[in-house]
Structure 1
Amino acid sequence: MESLKAMEEVDAENMCQLCNSIRSKYVCPRCNISYCSVSCYKSPNHSDCSEEFYKGNVQEWLAAEGTDPEAKNEMMEILKRINQQDDEFDDCVDESDGDSDEEESLSDRLAMVDLDNPDELWAKLLPEEKQEFLELIKSGDVAKLVPEWEPWWEDKHPMPKVRFADDNSEPEYKSKCPKIRTVPEFSHLTKTEPSPQVYFNLINVLASYSITARYMNGDFSELPREAATILINISKNLSSNAIFNDLESAVESVNQCIIDCPWITLEPDSKRVLQMTNDVTWILEGPNEEEPFFYAKAALSEAIEIMCAAKNFKETRRRGKFSSAFPEPTEASPLASKSTLNKCMKKLEYYLSWTDKHLSAYRIK
């Protein structure tokens, strides 16, 4: 009897907190209330929370994607597919309705829309489109409709077996990588012999850079301050001068920072450490044996560029009626200060100079 009573108590704890009749399957990411289905999630008792959370995400996503030359076409495809996709929570979806008229109407409505302005786009959507678009943003499925960025460091470019003496052309892979910055010679930066831990500290920074690049889908140009803040916060070496003694702890530290950080919206992933380890390995191996440090220098150079862009960034985004009703994405966490950005730039320049002078003595262990 006691066992049965305990089971009943466990079941009661797992019931949907909105209808109190069905076992909960999901948890609201904003208020942590447990719910069983999209119907409960949309219920009046929960609408204030869901609207505020989703609209904030919509504004952030639209602002990040809006200036891409191909963004209008991508947005059109996303909105068209919204009307074609099954609702993951509902069993019944009427797929018999033709969508040609809907797509034509949608095209007409968005024909003159400025995708730089999330308020203007939002005003053009029908109520059901707004709701479904919000759900698509929340579920993360919107990323499936946008081409996934392919990291440049995954490409290997074997040295050609034959090379003409007068061939001074730059290898094609260099045009796909961040431009390498010029930094002072290492001997000009310090006369002190660097400790072996510098290598593992560098790994911590490179792992943080790789996850930031993937998180931003390879594009830092529109949100450099957010990118810099993420990069600094998930690298303990950059944020608090942590010292690492091996590859495993250097990479695991980044993973733990991601887990502990409430404003980095990455789902728990058991494969993330492996992915970061692979990323670091590929970066440190370089494109080929002739230039094994090129990718490491390119990654560090872009990290410096992110800090520089963040420091010099001037906000030009407009705040309309819809946008002003909700907080900016970065209000959840303070952006890195200029003094912090300057400090991190100096450290990254140190690592870039160190890479030229000392990286050849190390290998992934």
Structure 2
Amino acid sequence: MGKMPGKAEIKFMPSSVQQDSNIISRYTCPECNLAYCSSTCFKSPVIRLFSLYGYLFTRRAQAHTNCSQAFYKKQIEADVRSESSSKSVEERLKMMEILKRFEENNMEQDELVGEDEENSEGEDDLERRFSAIDIASASPDALWSLLSQVERDKFIEAIQDPSSNLAQELLLSQELQNELAQEPWWEMSSITHDADDDPDDTRYGRTPELIDIPTTMVKPLPIGPPLIYNLCAVCIAYAFVTRRLATSPLSTLSYTIHSQDSEEVKHLLAQLVPFVMDRKSKVLHTSLSTAIDDVWSRFDKSAISSSTFTVLMRDTATLVRPLPIGIISSPDPSSYSTSASSNSRTTVADITSHPNRPLVYVLSDLHRLFANQNPNQNSNFTHVAHKLLFYAAHVLSTPPLVLRSLADDLAFRAKKEQKAPEIIPGQVNAGSSHADSMIPTSQTKTKGLGPYSENGANLKNITTNLIEEI
């Protein structure tokens, strides 16, 4: 390119317009017919140069800038038109779906807000209705009368359908879980270990407090008819009541006239073991079979199954079984109790080291339930407390070998019953007893199980032989 008029020399930057003779033109603008070496140069909106007369070339650059902007606009419009024809329906559907979800979320939030307001109003109303009474001492009829018809219907529905959401919510409540998590005291790994020794161990109930038994009531051997079979019936009823009320021990209940649980305990015991509650009762079970059969016949068959009764049998075997080690100790000054009517001191038996104390724990727990705690209050169950005290003395007089054989027989029957077919409540054959179904008959004698495998626990022969050896 030659010299232009003037003293200034014009130079183009690389990749500029075709006026530079050293660069070959490959593209031409369809609007202004300017030649360009590359598409990059064509897209560049300004021609960069160094010149005193740069305005000449700047005008060209600005003219081409208008061309490139118009070209971009046409290309974009063409792309939009081509894409809108194929994607407009799909995008429109997506937009409608998004709007639909948005509206549904708004509706759900409005419903939740409305339910929260209704629940808040319902809770306030329920709290107001129950604020005037003592829920702990109120009768079930009084509590039922304070519920609305809707609340009553919900409660009945939850009771009739344990799998419902409301029933599951109630069962999973933390308070109920803590209560249900407490196992009976006799299921501790060792009865000699008291739950009070470990305050953090709340899984098991604490061991009942032992009652004082005068040594004058404890004999070297039992006197009179054996009461061990009656005691088995008492243990079955005791285990059932403990598990039913989820309270261990039973003496932790409030023993007032308004205590619903305390009255429930007495009602169940009167139903299952009436010989304990009846002052004039002379019932004496002569075998384990008759004791089991009598208790089973008194259960409401709609409330207990054969498998549940098997659990009670295992519980009874645990409660009857003496501890393998008994510590013999001489009485200390704390083993004396002073009579209120005289200044004489009465020596009490040392039960804490006696191997038969598990069964005494049961009788002690029941004794404190029926004993008159308030001297100013007349009690109709004083005779029951006296009878339980007599039973406890009889236990201390019974040789541990007798109770061990009885516990083995109970465990054997429970194990056999666990393998037997389930007995459906309400379909028990009246011609055969439940106890007989767990007794090894002459056709099903088991060898190697000791004397109780022949005809139940032949405890009479065991006791007789023991007396002869002594």
TM-score normalised over the length of structure 2? 0.41
Deviation at 1:306, TM superposition (A): 1.6
Q: Could you list the per-position Cα deviations for residues 118-177 of structure 1 after superposition, in whole angstroms to 9, with x for gaps in the alignment?
A: 6775566443122111333466786845342521111122879xxxxxxxx985599812
Deviations 1:274-333 (A, max 9, x none): 12211111212367745643332221111111212599898xxxxxxxxxxxxxxxxxxx
Q: What pairs with 1:253-268 in structure 2 (closer than 5 Å)?
A: 253-259=294-300, 267-268=303-304
Instruction: Count residues in correspondence.
Output: 232
**Cα distance in 2 for residues equivalent to 1:180 and 1:159:** 13
3-state SS, counterpart of residue 259 of structure 1: coil
Structure 1 residues 359 and 307: CA distance shift in structure 2, 3 A? farther
Alignment map for 1:1-365 (pairs within 5 Å)? 98=112, 100-111=116-127, 113=131, 114=133, 115-116=135-136, 117=138, 122=144, 125-137=147-159, 144=171, 146=176, 147-148=179-180, 149-157=182-190, 171-172=197-198, 176-185=206-215, 187-188=216-217, 193-195=222-224, 197-218=226-247, 220-221=253-254, 222-223=259-260, 224-238=262-276, 239=278, 240-259=281-300, 267-285=303-321, 289=325, 292-308=355-371, 338=380, 341-362=381-402, 363=404, 364=407, 365=409
- Asked whether the equivalents of residues 183 and 205 of structure 2 are also in contact (C-alpha less than 8 Å), the reply is no
Instruction: Provide structure 2 residue ranges, at least 5 long, that are not aligned to the other structure.
Output: 1-110, 327-352, 410-470
Take 1:286 and 1:271, find their aligned partners in 2: how far apart are those partners? 25
Does the 8 Å CA contact 1:300/1:352 hold for their aligned counterparts?
Answer: yes
Which residue pairs with 1:65 in the alignment? none
Once the two structures are aligned, what percentage of the paired residues are identical?
19
1:250 partner amino acid: A
Superposition deviation, residue 269 in structure 1: 1.1
CA RMSD between the two structures: 4.1
Q: 2:357 corresponds to which letter in structure 1?
A: F
CA separation of 1:359/1:277 partners in 2, compared to 1, >3 Å: closer, same or farther? farther
CA-CA distance at 1:242 after TM superposition: 2.1
Mapped partners of 1:278, 1:313: distance in 2: 41
Question: Residues 234 and 100 of structure 1: is their aligned pair in 2 closer, same or farther, counting only changes over 3 Å?
Answer: same
Where relative contact order (Cα < 8 A, 6+ residues apart) is larger, the structure is: 1
Letter of the structure 1 residue corresponding to residue 389 of structure 2: E
Whole-Å separation in 2 of the counterparts to 1:237 and 1:195? 17
From the superposition, tell whether residues 295 and 192 of structure 1 become closer, same or farther in structure 2 (CA, over 3 Å).
closer
1:251 shift after superposition: 2.6
**Amino acid of the residue matched to residue 228 of structure 1?**
K
Cα distance in 2 between the residues matched to 1:101 and 1:226: 40
Is the CA contact 1:251–1:273 (under 8 Å) kept in the aligned structure 2? Answer: no
1:242-297 deviations in whole A, cap 9, x for unaligned?
2223334323321211238xxxxx61412232122111112123677456433322
Paired with 1:189 and 1:241, the residues of 2 have a C-alpha distance of 22
Secondary structure in 1 matching 2:231: helix
Counterparts in 2 of 1:270 and 1:192: CA distance versus 1, 3 Å: closer
Q: Contact conserved, 2:210 with 2:364, CA < 8 A, in 1?
A: yes
* 1:249–1:357 CA distance, 2 compared to 1 (3 A): same
Taking the aligned partners of 1:257 and 1:120, their CA distance within structure 2 comes to: 30
Bigger Rg over Cα: 2
Structure 1-normalised TM-score?
A: 0.52
Aligned counterparts of 1:119 and 1:243: Cα–Cα separation in 2: 39
Q: Distance in 2 between matches of 1:170 and 1:213?
A: 19
Partner Cα distance (1:189, 1:159) in 2: 22
Q: Equivalents in 2 of 1:159, 1:212: separation in Å?
A: 23
Check the 8 A contact 1:205/1:237 in 2, yes or no. Answer: no
Tell me, yes or no, if the aligned pair for 1:236 and 1:253 is still in contact at 8 Å. no
Q: Deviations over 1:35-78 (max 9, x none)?
A: xxxxxxxxxxxxxxxxxxxxxxxxxxxxxxxxxxxxxxxxxxxx
